[in-house]
Amino acid sequence: MSRAKVIEFSEKIPKLAEWSKQFRYRSAVPRITLANPTIAAKGIQKIELPNVENMTAVEIYPGLGVWTKAMKDIGFKRVITLEPQHMYFTWLESMSKGLSGLEVLKKDGYDWEAYNELKDPKYIGALENKDWSQVHPDIFFTGTLPKGSRGEQLLAQFTTCIVNKMAMHSLGRIQMAFWIPDTLYQKYVAPPKNHIRCKMSVIVEACAKVDLICTTAPDDMYPSSLYHLISIVPYEKSQITAQWDVFEYVLKHLFVMQKRPLKHMVKTLGPGADIILGRLSFDPNILIGEMTAAQLNEVTIKFDQWPLRPRVLFEDASVFN
């Protein structure tokens, strides 16, 4: 029998060696997980959420459930946690027996169908609030993102969902908080002129306020890794006012070469597209990597207004995959 079924969670988090052995999955290294209850408690307190006793948290990739328990300890009414990995799921099920208001679902936060299923009234469907003049008072979306391309794709897609009011954000203007690896954090918040600025950085600049809440020490994560907890609060109105598919097209083409000036890169949008340069409110000699989200939005609007722009923009719409 797995020790995950018999150890009382509230009494003991496994040591690193125990975790590595007990949670190994098909001979692979277990997915990274938060392992220090102290920093979890510090993090959830520093976010300063109002009226947590009325809130439902939706959590992805809980792993050992350290962040899960911190949310319950601070008074969340309900925590719905999605864990696809069998050994972690078993551990969390055992933990849930001693915590009222905790529901463990064997689902993967990477699977977009999971978010459709969450809209069932028995989960969070009944909490829909489409008034974007206020942050949703009853739903909090959180989790620990895995390292690598999967975590980056998820964060990019969650951010895009703010702009398009999709997935979790189809239910309202929902505050998010994620534990993310250092390399992803640096890309996510990279401002204009930063050499690691990317399409994702532009979109988050346009649609959300991002705050660094806290940073892990070496032993806070299994395996040891530098992670940051960030709070993401969507703006009431995004700076992206252009049609999303056109903005996506412009961003994809311009960001191929960030060190080139706009006056050169605009030609990649279509033959004759440089005609829009004289219609901009800023200097077209600006380098692509120095442009703000608002400037890129303006380029998109002028491009979209150009009668001769290409009408078929994508053969494959999965630009951020």
DSSP codes of every residue in 137-205: SSEEEEEEPPSSHHHHHHHHHHHHHHHHT-GGGGGS--EEEEEEEHHHHHHHTPPTT-TT--HHHHHHH
**Structure token digits, residue 72:** 């319950």
Residue 9, pLDDT score: 45
- Let me know if residue 298 belongs to a domain: yes
Task: Tell me which H or E stretch contains 92.
Answer: helix 86-96
**Structure token digits, residue 88:** 């972690």
**Structure token digits, residue 263:** 């006056």
For residues 137 and 270, membership in a common domain is answered with no
- Let me know if residue 296 belongs to a domain: yes
Is 34 within any annotated ligand binding site?
yes
For residues 133 and 152, membership in a common domain is answered with yes
Residue 48, pLDDT score: 87
* pLDDT tens over the chain, length 321 residues: 333 333 444 458 999 999 988 887 666 778 999 999 999 999 999 998 989 999 999 999 999 999 999 999 999 999 999 999 999 999 999 999 878 999 999 999 999 999 999 999 999 999 999 999 999 999 999 999 999 999 999 999 999 999 999 999 999 999 999 999 999 999 999 999 999 999 999 999 999 999 999 999 989 999 999 999 999 999 999 999 999 999 999 999 999 999 999 999 999 999 999 999 999 999 999 999 999 999 999 999 999 999 988 887 865 444 444
- Let me know if residue 286 belongs to a domain: yes
Q: What is the DSSP letter of 49?
A: -
| Range of the structural domain that residue 46 is part of | 3-234
Task: Tell me the CATH number at 153.
Answer: 3.40.50.150
Residue 26, pLDDT score: 67
Task: Tell me which H or E stretch contains 72.
Answer: helix 66-74
**214: which strand partners?**
229
**208: which strand partners?**
234
Residue 10, pLDDT score: 43
Task: Tell me which H or E stretch contains 246.
Answer: helix 244-254
Is 108 within any annotated ligand binding site?
yes
For residues 214 and 253, membership in a common domain is answered with no
Is 129 within any annotated ligand binding site?
yes
Helix, strand, coil percentages (3-state) for the chain, rounded to 5, are 40, 15, 40
**Structure token digits, residue 127:** 């909490």
- Count Cβ atoms below 10 Å from residue 313 Cβ, excluding itself: 18
Helix (H, G, I), strand (E, B) or coil at 11: coil
Compute CA 212 distance to the chain's CA centroid, rounded to the nearest angstrom.
14
Task: Tell me the CATH number at 289.
Answer: 1.10.8.100
For residues 80 and 118, the answer to whether their CB atoms sit within 8 Å is yes
Residue 314, pLDDT score: 64
Residue 8, pLDDT score: 43
For residues 217 and 129, membership in a common domain is answered with yes
Global pTM? 0.92
- Let me know if residue 58 belongs to a domain: yes
212 dihedral zone (left: phi>0; alpha: psi -120 to 50; beta): beta
Residue 7, pLDDT score: 40
- Let me know if residue 316 belongs to a domain: no
CA distances from 26 to 21, 22, 51, 86, 147 (A): 11, 11, 42, 10, 19
**Through-space distance between the first and last CA atoms of the chain, rounded to whole angstroms:** 40
Residue 21, pLDDT score: 86
Count of domains forming the chain: 2
